[in-house]
């Protein structure tokens, strides 16, 4: 199975890859997200280590039960050959109504078919007031005219 765009990445194809990943994660469908990764994909997400589709799906199910009204923006920081470094921010609230903006960086490595086989994520959570939110689109894909991280000074 091939998942374009394929490496080696140009600045344009890396941005396209990041937007496709953002769209998938904003859809909050664990199986769809997992389909962009190799069967033996290796993740580090914060202090959690995840390997393979079954663990990815379980991880994402747990994540989106806890992180409600999740909205994410990704932006390419750098790319080279089959690797992309991105920065991201997402907003969410817990079941107590406490809002957070989570900031982080991810390092991605892809196989020749464009499937990600390594994902290393470092993430920090910042408690925010609901009035400080910046991501206001209906749940799902971020509209094309919604500002990105740089435009929002994040």
Q: What is the three-state SS of 27-88?
A: HCCHHHHHCCEEEEEEEEECCEEEEHHHHHHHHHHHHHHHCEEEEEEEEEEEEECCEEEEEE
Confidence bin at 40 (pLDDT 50/70/90): very high
The CATH number covering residue 59 comes to 3.10.450.50
Based on the structure, what is the number of domains in the chain? Answer: 1
Assigned domain for 91 exists: yes
- Say how far apart CA 63 and CA 51 lie, in whole Å: 16
The residue ranking higher by pLDDT, 1 or 59, is 59
The tens digit of pLDDT for each residue in 18-34 reads 999 999 999 999 999 99
Assigned domain for 147 exists: no
Assigned domain for 42 exists: yes
In angstroms and rounded to an integer, the radius of gyration of the C-alpha atoms of the chain is: 15
The tens digit of pLDDT for each residue in 107-152 reads 999 999 999 999 999 999 999 999 999 999 999 999 999 999 999 9
pLDDT for residue 94 is more than 90: yes
pLDDT at 1: 82
Assigned domain for 138 exists: no
Assigned domain for 102 exists: yes
Assigned domain for 90 exists: yes
The tens digit of pLDDT for each residue in 45-70 reads 999 999 999 999 999 999 999 999 99
Domain of 80 in residue numbering reads as 11-132
Assigned domain for 139 exists: no
pLDDT at 120: 98
Assigned domain for 153 exists: no
């Amino acid at each position: 199975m091939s998942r374009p765009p394929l490496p080696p990445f140009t600045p344009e194809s890396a941005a396209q890859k990041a937007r496709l990943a953002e769209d998938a994660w904003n859809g909050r469908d664990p199986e769809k997200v997992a389909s962009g990764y190799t069967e033996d994909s290796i993740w580090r997400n914060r202090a959690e280590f995840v390997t393979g589709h079954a663990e990815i799906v379980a991880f994402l199910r747990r994540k989106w039960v806890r992180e409600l009204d999740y909205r994410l923006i990704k932006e390419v920081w750098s790319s080279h050959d089959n690797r992309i470094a991105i920065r991201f921010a997402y907003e969410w609230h817990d079941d107590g109504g406490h809002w957070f903006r989570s900031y982080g960086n991810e390092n991605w490595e892809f196989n020749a078919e464009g499937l990600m086989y390594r994902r290393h994520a470092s993430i920090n959570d910042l408690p925010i007031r609901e009035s400080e939110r910046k991501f206001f689109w209906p749940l799902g894909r971020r509209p094309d005219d919604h500002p990105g991280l740089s435009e929002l000074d994040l």
